[in-house]
Amino acid sequence: MSQTFFVTGTGTDIGKTYVTSLLAEYTTARGLSTAVMKPAQTGMTDPRNGDLGKVKERAPGILDLPMELACPYCLEFESSPHLAAELAGVEIDLQKIASAYSEIRKRFNPDVILLESAGGIYVPLNQREIMADIPARLGIPVIIVADAALGTINHTVLTINELRRRDVEVRGVIVNRVPDDPGILIRDNFKMIEKLGRTEILALAGTNRGFINDLGLRHIF
């Protein structure tokens, strides 16, 4: 049975694609067949030129999925998915995303499936549903990508609490943009995220340096 994780972030440009690529690199290096989905990509017409392509560059061993399964919605206008879809004359249907996910599990039976969010959990998919509804609908746990800098405690704990309010399991946090020598503020951020969020920091990632510390990942892969 596949291990599946929804990779989201505390905001836009927090490093979700970078961390997803590191996770895919980590799992494929351990011999785990890995599928990566991007349920909704905006700003282009070919998803291979977007986040999925970046993940493939770092982790070439991921499964080659049909694009209609890997990225059910690829929308030209660069914006929140709901607006890009409206401008394209379509509506993002959560059932279509769920069907693509189920088909990947059925046809490819990967050891690991990673679904990368667009933006944070409150990014709208349509006029009724938001990103948080994807893991809630699929019944899958979430890995949150957080920044190392000042302000991350508030953003991360709010994200954790909102997911739990929706009965979505938070598997842990990966902190991105960790400097070579984190000072007292950043080290305290790690501690307070774990304490106030009642969660585990699974890994630390440095900008363009990969995982600095990935001990927590060994508990789940």
Amino acid 52: pLDDT: 96
3-state helix, strand, coil split of the chain in percent (to 5) is 40, 20, 40
- pLDDT digits 0-9 by tens, 47-65: 889 999 999 999 999 999 9
The angle at the Cα of 70, spanning 174 to 201, to the nearest 5 degrees, equals: 10
Amino acid 72: pLDDT: 97
Amino acid 192: pLDDT: 98
Q: What are the residues whose beta carbons fall under 8 Å from the beta carbon of 168, sequence distance 6 or more?
A: 132, 135, 136, 141, 142
Residue that the structure tokens 């995220």 belong to:
193
Topology annotation, domain 3-219: Rossmann fold (3.40.50)
For the chain, which residues score pLDDT lower than 50? none
Amino acid 215: pLDDT: 84
Whether 132 and 24 have beta carbons less than 8 Å apart is answered as no
What is the C-alpha to C-alpha distance for residues 214 and 75, in angstroms, rounded to an integer? Answer: 34
Amino acid 105: pLDDT: 97
Amino acid 208: pLDDT: 78
Can 16 be counted among the known catalytic residues?
no
Amino acid 107: pLDDT: 97
- pLDDT digits 0-9 by tens, 143-166: 999 999 999 999 999 999 999 999
Q: Please, what's the b/e burial string for 166-203 (b: 16 or more CB within 10 A of its CB; e: otherwise)?
A: eebebbbbbbbbbeeebeeebeebbeebeeebebbbbb
The catalytically annotated residue of 16, 38, 96, 106 is 38
Amino acid 206: pLDDT: 93
